[in-house]
Amino acid sequence: MMKRNPYLKIGLTIIGLLMLITLFAPWLRSADPAQIDAAQLLMPPSSAHPFGTDQLGRDLLTRIIYGARISLSIGFIAMGIAVAVGILLGSLAGFYGRLVDTLIMRCADVMLCFPTFFLILAVVAFLEPSIFNIMAIIGLTSWMGPARLIRGEILSLKEREFIQAERALGASDARIILRHLVPNALGPVLVNATLGISAAILLETGLSFLGLGVQPPVPSWGNILIEAKSTLGVAWWIMIFPGLAILVTILGFNFIAEGLKKIIG
């Protein structure tokens, strides 16, 4: 499966390494990510601070590693919510058809009209921008892709012999949906979800960059970059390293998605 699939190999390596780093963060960098050091303000990269320090003298590498925890977990959990909602609504629409289908798919159409960023910002304006809220909002505004895929797959699977046979044997709707339809439709959803993680991470970093996502002092890749803006032309490292971290992570997920696409065909 991995043979002749460089995309999947590279992608899994990147994300695997990243997860190890976030898992062992406290052992990798002993410093506290919020440790302020007035003697070390805006220091360029050195052996003590490989990625340099920020305006408050905090170690940038430490902050990026802890930021990875936040950004990755938001990506995974937000997408988890989106996929769960998507599978639920998509399989209901595909399986029951008619009115249920029309209603659910019209809802998806409506949701797709809203530019995601506007919708999310509007909700954030009304709620507290806590990490939990951000996960929930991104998840609840991203279920349409998985829902459409699941529905499409189920519509085409529904009439196949093995499903008809199962029905003739008296299986319940729930059993048919959960045991047979959803597993068979998971392939394309997996690709979509992997790309969705990237999208969720990009949304989170964008939100945090605007000051409406993860709130300082908790580090996230997006809010570290707020400082990059105010130190533009002064401290290149604050701009380069968090950005590269985002870039490499998104590349990793997108490579995995590309590799999965090849396997599924």
Partner 1 sequence: MSTYIIRRLLGIIPLLFGITVVSFFIIRLAPGKPVAVEQSLNPRVSPELRLRLEKQFGLDKPLHVQYLIWMKQIVRLDFGRSYIDSRPVMEKIAERIPLTLGLNLAALVLIFLIAVPLGVRSAIKADSAFDHSVTFLSFLFFAAPTFWLALLFMQFFSIQLGWFPISGLTSLDFEYFSAWGKAGDSIRHLFLPVFVAAIGGFAGLTRYMRSNMIEALRQPYIATARAKGLPESAVLYSHALRNALLPVVTILGLSIPGLLGGSVIFESIFALPGIGRLFYEAVMTRDYPLIMAEVVITAVLTMLGNLIADISYACVDPRISYKER
Query: Which residues bind to partner 1, rule: CB under 8 A?
Result: 106-107, 109-119, 121-128, 198, 202, 205-206, 209-212, 225, 228-229, 232-233, 236, 239, 242-243, 246-248, 250-251, 254-255
CB of 47 to partner 1, least distance (A): 25
3-state secondary structure of 58: coil
Quick one: 181 or 194, whose CB is closer to partner 1? Answer: 194
CB of 255 to partner 1, least distance (A): 8
Q: 246: closest CA among 212, 215, 217, 207?
A: 207
Query: Which two structure tokens, joined as six digits, stand for 232?
Result: 């533009």
3-state DSSP percent of the chain in helix, strand and coil, to 5: 75, 0, 25
CB of 163 to partner 1, least distance (A): 28
Query: Looking up tokens 């890749």, which residue turns up?
Result: 221
CB-count burial class (<10 Å; 0-12, 13-18, 19+) for 195: buried
Quick one: 157 or 242, whose CB is closer to partner 1? Answer: 242
How far is Cα 91 from Cα 86, in angstroms, rounded to an integer?
8
Quick one: 88 or 121, whose CB is closer to partner 1? Answer: 121
Our CA angle for 133, 139, 142, nearest 5°, is 140
Quick one: 15 or 157, whose CB is closer to partner 1? Answer: 15
For residue 219, the cross-strand partners are: none
How far is Cα 65 from Cα 174, in angstroms, rounded to an integer?
43
Quick one: 71 or 177, whose CB is closer to partner 1? Answer: 71
CB of 143 to partner 1, least distance (A): 13
Cβ atoms of 225 and 209 closer than 8 Å: yes
How far is Cα 175 from Cα 57, in angstroms, rounded to an integer?
58
Cβ atoms of 203 and 120 closer than 8 Å: yes
How far is Cα 147 from Cα 86, in angstroms, rounded to an integer?
4
CB of 166 to partner 1, least distance (A): 34
Quick one: 167 or 261, whose CB is closer to partner 1? Answer: 261
CB of 150 to partner 1, least distance (A): 20
CB of 30 to partner 1, least distance (A): 28
CB of 1 to partner 1, least distance (A): 22
Quick one: 106 or 175, whose CB is closer to partner 1? Answer: 106
3-state secondary structure of 257: helix
Quick one: 174 or 248, whose CB is closer to partner 1? Answer: 248
